[in-house]
């Protein structure tokens, strides 16, 4: 039987799928006439597509633009209303009560041209808004605003003390009469990062200064103050160690919340200035970002895992050796390690030895790594330790003959 080798090859395909903030909006429609609008950007704005969820249950659609009425009837092929977008208000006549459902994305910003005279507009805001906030600097240009909901007209006029229309709702249509033309700018992105606070701040100098912790990690805390807290979806911070998710810690006031998190800096991380970029995203995908920074200071430090060298018994005229290694887990085998974030020179000294008799420290010799032994009272021997460097420290005790 002939043996065959079969080589199996497969490809691994990784696909990055962006987060979608597309949403669904539902508008309740009563039997008869309704004055409504579509608050979302739509991928397909043809009238038949926009109204597909209520197909067969409506008869006439009427809009108004630049002094001209536009009509659509699903049974009339020559309708002059072709599209519906988020800037338009429109009348729709329903055969029966129903719910219009549309899917799309809320615009971050929209500009609606308000011409002198009557305008029929939509309400592409992400939430209900007071008429006074809606008008802003255009208040003196507006004659009146008219709405129609549940069979009732409501009116707002700047000249009237008592108005029946005080709030404008997403998904409703509005007639606006203007004394003068105006460009109405709508900004739905009210997400704001008010501050990025980094701690600990371990110096009285300007800026945030963080000192490394010798031979261990240093925890750096991030606190981000985010405005318009009720609609926030997530808050993150891009740190020197990667992105972290910040969790809500507390409310600062009725409009601002505090989001916190932390990350670890290693003792050997280079000294210098590091940035932290915080980002907040709301439920519609609108975002804001702000960057804070801190200075990671220089630290010269070392670790010697043996503070006491035990030579045990040494006969006169003899010698005893204590050999080091590269592990900090063996205190009987001395190791010297750089525990900071700068290169260092290491020198060594010691006290006279204790025992049955006095032995001068000069009887002790040492060496770093593979160098030659030097007397402990010598200042000639030193070793350079780069970042993350470590070296064994060997000792020899010689006792003179009696």
Say yes or no: 49 and 160 in one domain: yes
Q: Is the Cβ–Cβ distance between 90 and 82 less than 8 Å?
A: no
Query: Of the candidates 87, 102, 130, 86, which has an alpha carbon nearest to the alpha carbon of residue 27?
Result: 102
Quote the distance between the C-alpha of residue 362 and its chain's center.
Answer: 60
**387 found inside a domain:** yes
Query: Of the candidates 192, 188, 168, 166, which has an alpha carbon nearest to the alpha carbon of residue 255?
Result: 192
106 contacts: CB under 8 Å, gap ≥ 6:
21, 23, 39, 40, 41, 124, 126, 188, 284
Say yes or no: 51 and 133 in one domain: yes
Say yes or no: 252 and 133 in one domain: no
**355 found inside a domain:** yes
Q: Residue 76 corresponds to which tokens in the numbers above?
A: 């009339």
Task: Give the span between the Cα atoms of 81 and 69, in whole angstroms.
Answer: 9
CATH number at residue 211: 2.60.40.10
**351 found inside a domain:** yes
Listed residues 152, 187, 222: the one ending a domain: 187
Query: Of the candidates 182, 175, 185, which has an alpha carbon nearest to the alpha carbon of residue 65?
Result: 175
**276 found inside a domain:** yes
Say yes or no: 138 and 287 in one domain: no
Residue span of the structural domain in which 317 resides: 302-398
Give the pairing of strands 58-65 and 68-72. antiparallel
Say yes or no: 238 and 375 in one domain: no
Question: What string of pLDDT tens digits covers the 402 residues of the chain?
Answer: 333 333 333 333 333 333 344 578 999 999 999 999 999 999 999 999 999 999 999 999 999 999 999 999 999 888 999 999 999 999 999 999 999 999 999 898 999 999 999 999 999 988 889 998 888 878 889 999 999 999 999 999 988 888 999 999 999 999 999 999 999 998 888 889 999 999 999 988 889 999 999 999 999 999 999 987 667 889 999 999 999 999 999 999 888 999 999 999 999 999 999 999 999 998 888 899 999 999 999 998 888 877 777 777 777 777 777 787 777 788 888 878 788 888 877 777 666 666 666 677 777 877 777 777 777 765 555 666 676 677 777 666 777 766
Tally of CB atoms within 10 A around 399: 18
- At residue 342, what are phi and psi to the nearest 5 degrees? -135, 155
Say yes or no: 182 and 315 in one domain: no
Q: What is the dihedral of CA 359, 363, 368, 370, to 10 degrees?
A: -140
Say yes or no: 37 and 162 in one domain: yes
pTM above 0.85, yes or no: no
Say yes or no: 199 and 258 in one domain: yes
Task: Give the span between the Cα atoms of 111 and 127, in whole angstroms.
Answer: 17
Question: Among positive and negative, which fits the CA dihedral 152, 156, 157, 159?
Answer: positive
Query: Of the candidates 222, 196, 193, 189, which has an alpha carbon nearest to the alpha carbon of residue 289?
Result: 193
Tally of CB atoms within 10 A around 254: 7
Say yes or no: 173 and 72 in one domain: yes
H or E stretch covering 233: strand 232-239
Q: What is the pLDDT of residue 201?
A: 94
Query: Of the candidates 245, 249, 243, which has an alpha carbon nearest to the alpha carbon of residue 235?
Result: 245
Q: What is the pLDDT of residue 378?
A: 54
Task: Give the span between the Cα atoms of 303 and 336, in whole angstroms.
Answer: 6
Is 193 in a helix, a strand, or coil? strand
Task: Give the span between the Cα atoms of 226 and 247, in whole angstroms.
Answer: 11
Q: What is the pLDDT of residue 59?
A: 94
What does each C-alpha distance from 314 to 375, 377, 397 come to in angstroms? 18, 20, 8
Q: Is the Cβ–Cβ distance between 317 and 399 less than 8 Å?
A: yes
Q: What is the pLDDT of residue 188?
A: 87
* CB crowding 143-181: b at 16 or more within 10 Å, else e: ebbbbbbeeeeeebebeeeeeebeebbbbbbbbbebeee
* CA neighbours closer than 13 Å in the CB half-sphere of residue 97: 4
**247 found inside a domain:** yes
Listed residues 124, 156, 187: the one ending a domain: 187
Say yes or no: 312 and 274 in one domain: no
Q: What is the pLDDT of residue 278?
A: 96
Query: Of the candidates 328, 349, 347, 337, which has an alpha carbon nearest to the alpha carbon of residue 386?
Result: 337
Count of the separate structural domains present in the chain: 3
**112 found inside a domain:** yes
**129 found inside a domain:** yes
**6 found inside a domain:** no
Listed residues 130, 155, 187: the one ending a domain: 187
Q: What is the pLDDT of residue 231?
A: 77
Q: Residue 164 corresponds to which tokens in the numbers above?
A: 């029946």
Q: Is the Cβ–Cβ distance between 72 and 79 less than 8 Å?
A: yes
- At residue 382, what are phi and psi to the nearest 5 degrees? -150, 165
Say yes or no: 181 and 199 in one domain: no
Say yes or no: 182 and 228 in one domain: no
């Amino acid at each position: 039987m002939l043996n065959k080798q079969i080589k199996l090859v497969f490809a691994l395909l990784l696909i990055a799928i962006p987060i979608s903030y597309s949403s669904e909006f539902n508008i309740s429609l009563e039997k008869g006439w309704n004055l409504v609008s579509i608050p979302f950007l739509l991928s397909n704005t043809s009238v038949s597509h926009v109204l597909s969820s209520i197909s067969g249950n409506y008869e006439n659609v009427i809009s108004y633009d630049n002094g001209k009425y536009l009509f659509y009837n699903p049974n009339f092929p020559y309708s002059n209303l072709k599209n519906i977008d988020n800037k338009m208000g429109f009348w729709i006549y329903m055969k029966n009560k129903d719910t219009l459902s549309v899917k799309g994305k809320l615009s971050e910003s929209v500009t609606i041209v308000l011409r002198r005279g009557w305008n029929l507009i939509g309400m592409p805001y992400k939430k209900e808004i007071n008429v006074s906030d809606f008008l802003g600097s255009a208040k003196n240009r507006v004659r009146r605003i008219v709405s129609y909901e549940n069979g009732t007209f409501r009116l707002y006029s700047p000249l009237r003390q008592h108005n029946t229309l005080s709030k404008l709702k997403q998904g409703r249509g509005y007639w606006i009469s203007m004394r003068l033309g105006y460009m109405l700018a709508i900004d739905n992105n009210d997400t704001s990062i008010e501050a990025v606070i980094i701690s600990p701040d371990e110096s009285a100098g300007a800026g945030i200064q963080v000192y490394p912790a010798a031979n261990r990690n240093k925890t750096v805390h991030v606190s981000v103050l985010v405005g318009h807290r009720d609609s926030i979806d997530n808050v993150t911070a891009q740190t020197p160690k990667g992105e972290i998710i910040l969790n809500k810690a507390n409310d600062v006031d009725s409009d601002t919340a505090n989001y916190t998190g932390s990350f670890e800096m290693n003792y050997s991380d280079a000294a210098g200035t590091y940035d932290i970029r915080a980002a907040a995203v709301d439920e519609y995908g609108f975002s804001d970002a702000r960057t804070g920074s801190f200075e990671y200071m220089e630290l010269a430090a070392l670790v010697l895992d043996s503070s006491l060298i035990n030579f045990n018994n040494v006969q006169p005229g003899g010698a005893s050796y204590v050999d080091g290694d590269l592990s900090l887990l063996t205190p009987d085998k001395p190791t010297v390690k750089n525990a900071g974030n700068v290169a260092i020179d290491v020198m060594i000294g010691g006290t006279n030895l204790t025992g049955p008799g006095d032995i001068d420290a000069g009887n002790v010799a040492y060496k770093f790594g593979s160098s030659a032994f030097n007397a402990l009272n010598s200042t000639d021997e030193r070793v350079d330790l780069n970042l993350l460097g470590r070296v064994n420290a060997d000792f020899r005790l010689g006792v003179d003959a009696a």
